[in-house]
Amino acid sequence: MAELESLGEVISTDVLIVGGGLAGLAAAITVKEESPENDVLVVEKATAGWAGKAPKGGGILAFITPEDTPEEFIRFHLRNIGCFLEDQELLSEYARTCNEVLDYLDSWGVKLAKEKNGRWKYIKLPGGELPWGLVGADLDMCQRIHRYTKKLGSRFVNKVSVVGLLKDGDQVTGAIGFNVEDGTCYIFKAKATILANGSQNYRIMPMWSPGRGDGIAAAYRAGAEMRNAEFGSFINMIHTASREVVFGAEECMYNAKGENITRKYRPLPQPDIHTDAAIAWHKEHLDGNGPIYENADENLLGRGSEILFATDLVWDRPVAIAFWLRLWEKEKPAMKDDSPRREIVPGFIGELSPVKVDHQMATTLPGLFAVGDISYNGSAWTGAVPAPPGRIRGTGLMNAVWSARRGARVAARFVRELSAEPKVDLAHAQELKEGMFQPLQRESGIAPTELVHAIQEAVAPIKYSNWRSEERMKEALGMVLDVRAKLPELKARDTHDLAACNEAKSMALCAEMFYRASLERKESRGWFVREDFPETDNVNWLKWIILKDKDGEMTLSTEDIPIERYSIKP
Ligand X SMILES: Cc1cc2nc3c(=O)[nH]c(=O)nc-3n(C[C@H](O)[C@H](O)[C@H](O)COP(=O)(O)OP(=O)(O)OC[C@H]3O[C@@H](n4cnc5c(N)ncnc54)[C@H](O)[C@@H]3O)c2cc1C
Q: Does 394 bind ligand X (CB under 6 A)?
A: yes
| Shortest distance, position 61 Cβ to ligand X, whole Å | 6
Please tell me the distance from the alpha carbon of residue 239 to that of residue 294, in angstroms, as a whole number. Answer: 9
Site for ligand X in 357-386 (CB under 6 A): 372-373
Residue 276 has, within 13 A of its CA and on its CB side, a CA count of 22
Q: Does 24 bind ligand X (CB under 6 A)?
A: yes
Q: Least separation, in Å, of the C-beta of 558 and ligand X?
A: 27
Please report how close the Cβ of residue 295 comes to ligand X at its closest, in angstroms.
24
Measure the CA–CA gap between 555 and 553, rounded to whole angstroms: 6
Among 7, 11, 13, 20, binds ligand X (CB under 6 A): 20
- Beta strands 185-195 and 368-370 are parallel
Comparing CB distances to ligand X, the nearer of 21 and 526 is 21
Q: Least separation, in Å, of the C-beta of 197 and ligand X? A: 4
Check: CB of residue 75 under 8 Å from CB of residue 95. Answer: no
3 or 181: whose CB is closer to ligand X?
181
Give the interface size with ligand X as a residue count (CB under 6 A).
43
- Beta carbon of residue 427, minimum distance to ligand X (angstroms, whole number): 23
Number of H helices and E strands in the chain, helices first, is: 17, 19
For ligand X, the closer CB: 198 or 386: 198
The rounded distance, in Å, linking the Cα atoms of 63 and 108 is: 18
Q: Is 42 an interacting residue with respect to ligand X (CB under 6 A)? A: no
- The pairing of beta strand 40-43 with beta strand 155-157: parallel
Nearest to 401 by CA among 193, 141, 189: 141
Smallest separation (angstroms) from ligand X to the CB of 48: 7
List all residues 6 or more positions away from 546 whose beta carbon is below 8 Å from its beta carbon.
225, 226, 227, 356, 556, 557, 558, 559
Cβ closer to ligand X: 193 or 524?
Answer: 193
Q: Considering the complex, state which of residue 197 and residue 518 has its C-beta at the smaller distance from ligand X.
A: 197
* Total count of residues recorded for the chain: 570
Task: Decide if 157 contacts 9 (C-beta within 8 A).
Answer: no
Q: Where does 210-286 have alpha helices with state H?
A: 214-221, 261-265, 275-286
| Of the residues 15, 34, 41, 45, which one makes contact with ligand X according to CB under 6 A | 45
The DSSP H or E segment spanning 348 is strand 341-350
Q: What would the x/- binding string for ligand X be over residues 61 to 80, using CB under 6 A?
A: x-------------------
- For residue 42, the minimal CB distance to ligand X (Å) is 9
Q: Provide the CB-side half-sphere exposure for 474 (13 A, CA).
A: 3
Residue 204 binds ligand X (CB under 6 A) = no
Q: Does 277 bind ligand X (CB under 6 A)?
A: no
Radius of gyration of the chain (CA): 23
Binding window for ligand X (CB under 6 A); candidates: 190-198, 440-448, 542-550, 555-563: 190-198
Closer residue to ligand X (CB): 45 or 77: 45
Residues forming the site for ligand X (CB under 6 A): 18-24, 43-46, 51-54, 56-61, 161-162, 177, 196-198, 207-208, 210-212, 214, 372-373, 388, 393-398, 400
